[in-house]
Structure 1
Amino acid sequence: MTDHEARPIRVALSNDYEIALLGIAQMLARHPSQVQVVDLTTNTEMQHRPDVILFDTFGRLPDDDRKLRAVIDQNPAKVVVYSWDDYPEEAARRAGAAGYVSKRLSANELVAAIAAIHDRTTVEAVEPDGEPVITWPGQAIGLSQRESEMLGFITRGLTNAEIARRAYLSINTVKTYIRTAYAKIGVRNRAEAVAWGIRNGFESTDDTGI
């Protein structure tokens, strides 16, 4: 019998944005017999001795991610990177992550992947459960994942050139995402976008640098 057959796997959620963590916590809360969220934090050190730390890459870029390394170094738990393809698995593995899971997974699939990494077993195919995946702020008002991240970077104070360089995007692509995001949230310029971001929880607490 594995340990989590006796009790749920203790999971900590880590990201710079509290608003980004709430959606993941909502997903995992549907499976209380399998996983228990014990920390939901923007800090690098967990307080409640989790078995697994799910490191959400929303608003982070794989270019020398010092926060991911700090989370790995400061905690004995297995750190699992939870991301889209633009934060490649190779970058997570180089930093020392124990696992990597895609944000395309349903809640049921995500729980199965966490359990497999916790037990060091092969992830078995899981039938999609049809549950919505809520993994980024602003999804409910029509923001795409990329548009949402652009607003996070802008609220953090990055320039378009900095975003393009670190995200491996062209400057024109960055401008396109920003322009469509502005239209969806009803702002006209960067100052209004920053103000909107602060009001809506897009202000990062990260102090390790991006």
Structure 2
Amino acid sequence: MSGTARGGPIRVALVDDYDVVLAGLAHMFDRYRDRVVVCEIDANANLDDEVDIVLYDSFAQPESDHHELSELVRNPRASRVVVYTWNFHPELVESAQEKGVHGYLSKTLPARDLVAALESVHAGETIISSPPRRAGSALGLDWPGRHEGLTDREAEILALITQGKSNAEVATLTYLSPNTVKTYIRSTYRKIDVTSRTQAVLWGVAHGFTPDHHRIDHWLGGP
């Protein structure tokens, strides 16, 4: 059933710390404006009305710390909270469900399936995507460094490094093995033509890898 059939499109607020991530996600919904309307991607704009769904994009967010999810679930302006991610480690999924999220959706979903899942969540269901069989993102998504050749996984690792995280912290936050993290770092360094962590951080700062924490703070009860 479409949003129009229920009396109007679902009102969705997108939450992530990176402009390019939010813009790419919002673009995915362009063909489905009769069913989904993105009512907020800018935390600096006032939104006093309640939204139907907060869609929390996990890019470069502390996935192993679900305090943010608990706060989002408690926010009276958000009727339902959905996590949008590629990381389906069983502990992450279980923890999110315990915190009360209403959906845990894979970034490998085509736009039409993502919209259908959001409609099901809005109708009262709890939707958990099947773990993706291989790495990959839905067409239309964007992330910092994509146009410089970085995959979304490499970009996420670089974003965490730019935030000052150590390799061990990155591994913990992403539920990747230390060796996998090192492999991503090596491939990232080659693509951005740097040879040290300091150079990588400087490159990240210059190419949009510094998060705007005000976005998530805004939904956690901040200004």
Q: Which residue of 1 aligns with 2:38?
A: 37
Whether 2:117 is the aligned partner of 1:102: answer no
> Partner of 2:185: helix, strand, or coil?
helix
Question: Alignment partner for residue 165 of structure 1, among 169, 172, 196?
Answer: 172
- C-alpha spacing 1:52/1:176, structure 2 compared with 1 (3 Å): same
Whether 2:210 is the aligned partner of 1:188: answer: no
Alignment partners' CA distance in 1, 2:163 and 2:79: 29
Q: CA deviation at 1:194?
A: 1.5
Change (3 A) 1:142 1:32: same
1:94 offset after TM fit, Å? 1.8
**Structure 2 residue ranges without an equivalent (≥5):** 128-137, 218-223
Note the 1:51-66 alignment, pairs <5 A: 51-66=52-67
| Matching of residues 16-35 of structure 1 within 5 Å | 16-35=17-36
- After TM superposition, the structure 1 stretch with the greater mean CA deviation from structure 2, 113-122 or 45-54, is 45-54
CA distance in 2, matches of 1:2, 1:26: 19
1:81 to 69, 74, 83: 83
Q: Would the alpha carbon gap of residues 119 and 29 (structure 1) be closer, same or farther in structure 2, given more than 3 Å must change?
A: same
SS at match of 2:95: helix
Cα contact 1:103–1:135 (8 A) shared by 2? no
Q: Which string of whole-angstrom CA distances, capped at 9 and with x for unpartnered residues, describes residues 11-65 of structure 1?
A: 000012222111101101221111110111468x965421111111111243222
1-structure distance, mates of 2:21, 2:125 = 28
| Alignment-derived partner of residue 128 in structure 1 | none
Change (3 A) 1:168 1:122: closer
CA distance in 1, matches of 2:198, 2:115: 40
Which residue of the other structure, out of 133, 142, 149, is the alignment partner of 1:142?
Answer: 149
Aligned residue pairs, count: 201
Normalized against structure 2, the TM-score is what?
0.79
Q: Secondary structure at the match of 1:10?
A: strand
Q: 2:37, 2:17 → 1: CA distance?
A: 21
Task: Supply the AA of the counterpart residue of 1:171.
Answer: P
Within 2, Cα distance between the matches of 1:72 and 1:33?
Answer: 26
Structure 1 residue 144, shift from structure 2 partner: 1.9
| Cα gap change, 1:42 to 1:204, in 2 (>3 Å) | farther
Q: Judging changes above 3 Å, is the alpha-carbon distance between structure 1 residues 143 and 46 closer, same or farther for their aligned structure 2 residues?
A: farther
Question: 2:174, 2:20 → 1: CA distance?
Answer: 21
- What percentage of aligned pairs have identical amino acids? 40
- Taking structure 1 as the reference length, the TM-score comes to 0.83
